[in-house]
């Protein structure tokens, strides 16, 4: 069977449906597919980009959080994370959120990758980071909308939370998983159950 090479879709026009920045923008693209088919309303969701951090202390502990997340509807184990501010680089957002939420700073940072949250609709981007040598330098900043507990976990226990499904949101689970498999990461190798 002959196959066409993979081609991009063509966006003919875009209609904005709702805009309430910085939280949300909903639009719809009229697209033409490589086979000539038209989809007149292909929804796109623009949500703010965010950074997620696996911070590992000099003692080798992972800085984690417990927090109620409204879309989950429950308290879940989590990682320091937050939206990028306007003009802010992903790594600076990661450093700021780590400091604000936990009071920790770290000298060594590595990006684990940046990912489109939803390949069809968009839904923002995740920027995943791992930091090593983290130490507590301040109290967490009290936040009006976030009530959280900071917990320091041995890598083995953080690993267990991940594989037992107790990290209920995709961005932190992805980031922690990557931190266990990237050879440059302080949590590598991931052979925790061995």
Q: Among 5-13, 85-93, 96-104, 129-137, which window interacts with its own copies (CB under 8 A)?
A: 5-13
In the three-class reduction of DSSP (H, G, I as helix; E, B as strand; rest coil), residue 80 is classed as coil
Q: CB neighbours of 188 closer than 8 A, spacing ≥ 6?
A: 179, 180, 181, 182
Nearer Cβ to its own copies (73/87): 73
| CB of residue 91 to its own copies, shortest distance in Å | 15
Under the criterion CB under 8 A, does residue 4 sit at the interface with its own copies? yes
Under the criterion CB under 8 A, does residue 190 sit at the interface with its own copies? yes
**Using CB under 8 A, which residues numbered 84 to 103 contact its own copies?**
none
Exposure of 52 in the CB half-sphere (CA atoms within 13 A):
24
| CB of residue 94 to its own copies, shortest distance in Å | 16
Under the criterion CB under 8 A, does residue 37 sit at the interface with its own copies? yes
For residue 145, give both structure tokens. 């909308």
- Cα–Cα nearest to 95, from 123, 39, 148, 133: 133
Under the criterion CB under 8 A, does residue 21 sit at the interface with its own copies? no
| 58, 113, 135, 156: residue in contact with its own copies (rule CB under 8 A) | 113
How wide is the angle at C-alpha 94 spanned by C-alphas 90 and 97, nearest 5°? 135
Nearer Cβ to its own copies (58/159): 159
Residue labelled with tokens 């489109």: 116
In the three-class reduction of DSSP (H, G, I as helix; E, B as strand; rest coil), residue 160 is classed as helix
**Using CB under 8 A, which residues numbered 129 to 188 contact its own copies?**
139, 144-145, 147-149, 159, 162-163, 165, 167-171, 173-174, 177-178, 180-183
Applying CB under 8 A, what is the total number of residues that bind its own copies? 80
CA distances from 32 to 15, 20, 38 (A): 15, 28, 5
Under the criterion CB under 8 A, does residue 32 sit at the interface with its own copies? no
């Amino acid at each position: 069977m002959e196959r066409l090479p993979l081609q991009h879709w063509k966006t003919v026009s875009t209609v904005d449906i709702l805009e309430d920045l910085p939280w949300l923008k909903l639009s719809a693209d009229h697209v033409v597919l490589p086979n000539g088919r038209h989809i007149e309303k292909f929804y796109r969701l623009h949500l703010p980009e965010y950074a997620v951090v696996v911070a590992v202390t000099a003692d080798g502990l992972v800085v984690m959080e417990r927090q109620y997340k409204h879309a989950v509807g429950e308290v879940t184990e989590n990682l320091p994370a937050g939206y990028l501010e306007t003009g802010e680089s992903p790594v600076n957002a990661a450093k700021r959120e780590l400091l604000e939420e936990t009071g920790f700073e770290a000298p060594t940072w590595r990006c684990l990758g940046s990912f489109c949250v939803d390949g069809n609709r968009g839904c923002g981007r995740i920027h995943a980071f791992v930091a090593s040598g983290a130490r507590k330098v301040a109290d967490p900043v009290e936040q009006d909308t976030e009530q959280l507990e900071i917990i320091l976990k041995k890598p083995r226990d953080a690993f267990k939370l991940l594989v037992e499904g107790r990290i209920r949101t995709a961005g932190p689970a992805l980031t922690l998983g990557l931190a266990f498999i990237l050879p440059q990461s302080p949590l590598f190798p991931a052979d925790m159950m061995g």
